Amino acid sequence: MMPAVEITQEEVREGLRRARYVTVPRVETAVFVALVLEKPLLVEGPAGAGKTELAKVLAAMLDTELVRLQCYEGLDETRALYEWNYQKQLLRLQADRAGASWEALSRDIFSREYLLERPLLHAITAPRRVVLLIDEVDKSDEEFEAFLLEVLSDFQVSVPELGTIPARHRPVVLLTSNCARELSEALKRRCLHLYVDFPGVEKEAEILALKVPEADERLRQQVARFVGRLRKLDLKKSPSIAETLDWCRALLALGVHGLDAAAVRQTLSLLLKHEEDVRKAESKVPSLLADGR
């Protein structure tokens, strides 16, 4: 097992900045502590606030592979951990009709050669430390969440035919949750916790400056202020940071360099993905724009 990641808090801060991830000190602190203590980091917050991006940036910062397990209802260990390559096993059996004993044959076909690695097993057996992203864990079933506990506490997995497989190199683990359901206390105990919310106006304007540098400062401030106010409405889905960036790029493509009611109404459906949200926001465009031009 490799030793813990040797990194300083300043190196984490600079690494995130080099990867163009605009953040705040508590995020930098949580990432640093997770790396030093080799603890999984559970990142909760609204969809689109930059949780998944944090894992991508972390992999880039550590110059390593990002292994992603996307969670969904009904996900089970055969999709997350491993699956036997049944076709290859069958071919092996057909090729050995001549007469090897079942005991010898079973030892062969239930060996690692016939195992298909899924994300969890790949992260455990990778030849070097990777970043393992368990994305939207709140979308998985409680049974799958319980299955994860062995990985998160002991960094090992169990395959009945092969026994326990410990991690060659302990992965850096980041779990994300959109808070669709309450996660178990057992899972939370195994993780450090971080809540990532949408950025404030100034931080979002800073993100726009990094990601859409062709937009001038006036438009960036207007876009960030408008989106920040929009998120305070009772919407079915608030705009994500990525959608803010796309909206700003769309405005520039349309030749819009300053927000007004006409430009907003023309492009609002690019920012909001539900028609009921568009209708709700349209009636409030003047107040959302107030002092925003």
Instruction: Determine the Cα–Cα distance for residues 137 and 6; give it in Å rounded to an integer.
Output: 28
Q: Whole-model pTM above 0.75?
A: yes
Given a contact cutoff of 8 angstroms between Cβ atoms, the answer to whether 150 and 158 are in contact is yes
Q: What is the pLDDT of residue 94?
A: 63
Average pLDDT over residues 32-44: 94
* Half-sphere exposure at residue 238, Cβ-oriented, CA atoms within 13 angstroms: 20
pLDDT in tens, 207-245: 999 999 999 999 999 999 999 999 999 999 999 999 999
The answer to whether residue 1 scores a pLDDT higher than 50 is: no
Q: What is the pLDDT of residue 109?
A: 59
Phi and psi at 208, nearest 5°, equal -60, -40
- DSSP lists the bridge partners of residue 84 as 115
Given a contact cutoff of 8 angstroms between Cβ atoms, the answer to whether 139 and 130 are in contact is no
- Residue 60 is inside which H or E element, if any? helix 51-62
The answer to whether residue 84 scores a pLDDT higher than 70 is: no
The answer to whether residue 95 scores a pLDDT higher than 90 is: no
pLDDT in tens, 171-217: 999 999 998 899 999 999 999 999 999 999 999 999 999 999 999 99
CATH match for 9-81+118-195 among 1.10.1200.10, 3.40.50.300, 1.10.630.10, 3.40.720.10? 3.40.50.300
The answer to whether residue 96 scores a pLDDT higher than 90 is: no
- DSSP lists the bridge partners of residue 156 as 166
pLDDT in tens, 237-293: 999 999 999 999 999 999 999 999 999 999 999 999 999 999 999 989 998 998 644
List, in order, residues 6 or more apart from 163 with CB less than 8 Å away.
none
Question: Burial letters for 230-240: b for 16+ Cβ neighbours within 10 Å, e otherwise?
Answer: bbeeebeebbb
Given a contact cutoff of 8 angstroms between Cβ atoms, the answer to whether 126 and 168 are in contact is yes
